[in-house]
Amino acid sequence: MSEPREDNRDSEDATPLVFLRNLIPLTPSVKEFFEQKLGEITAARFCTFKTCPGCQTYVERADENNLCVHCTVCTAKKGSSYEFCWNCRRKWKGRAQIAVRCGYSDCNQIYPTMEKSNDRKRLAMIINNVNFKVSQFHRSGAEKDEESMGTLLEALGYDVITLNDLSAEGMEAAVRDFSQRNEHRYSDSTFFVIMSHGGHDGIYGINYDGNESDIFPVDKIFHYLNSENCPGLTDKPKIILIQACRGDTVSIRNTGYGSVFIQSLVKVFIEHCHVDDIVELFRKVTLYFEEAVKKTNFPYQMPSLDRTTLAKKFYLFPGL
């Protein structure tokens, strides 16, 4: 049994930051980072915080029985009192008082959205077939759609996996592998975007030559992303976007700026996704698409919403 020795460290050395500082030198910026994170962890032990939808700063909920939460930062910036609903995270609607519900009738009918953090792993996939085996099928301008969708999804907080020029077999392998990604366990939703030629039977792979070959059935997308094959996304919104001919009318695409559908969708999402749920966004896309087509000499056509299984409203909350 050894004799006890005197510990000459200061009393503050018991904190993790000081302990770390004694092991390695910390630059001012690194020290500030650790202090901020430790502060957040310590505060979380005693208080409950969420980000304000108006300014994205952390706000404490002082009364757990009150859904009406006051943000001092927004109030100071706007010059008037600003409150938001703790549950649905929208600007407060109704009388600003102690309340168990806000003025939105759908407050309890919204899919939960995870806040930005290192724990959130939103993942999206884009498959874009541009260069086909038969040169006459090349999809010039599709690069613009890929760029626009990628930028939009990244702005919405998704890490985007982009794959190009796949056969039907390659597309099936891609969606199958995507469904098994571990990130989905730590996500609240996903987007799966596929852009190519297509027909009644499905999406065409790059080996399509005009005959009924190299076709990827659309049903396989739903098969691989269902709860059984993609458990990480169970009860989470899965938005599947298909830019392809699906029937007798061709899908309008401009070689200079991309397809009417994708460009309309991106524009509508940028302008309205901070206030509208996904179904309302698609309605506005359809309206915008209709107006855009009327300005051209192309045959009249409209995008279609094939499958809707969302039981609640899905808001993208781009500020979170």
Residues marked as catalytic: 197, 245
The C-alpha angle with vertex 90 and arms to 148 and 116, in degrees rounded to 5, equals: 55
Tokens, residue 138: 């090349």
**Sequence-separated (6 or more) residues with CB below 8 Å from residue 59:** 49, 50, 51, 52, 69, 70, 71
- Among 41, 46, 80, 39, which residue's Cα sits nearest to residue 61? 46
β-bridge pairing 83-85 and 68-70: antiparallel
Residues 150, 72: Cα–Cα separation, whole Å? 35
Instruction: Dig out the tokens for 164 from the structure.
Output: 């190009």
Tell me the C-alpha distance between 303 and 160, whole Å: 24
* Cβ atoms 49, 31 nearer than 8 A: no
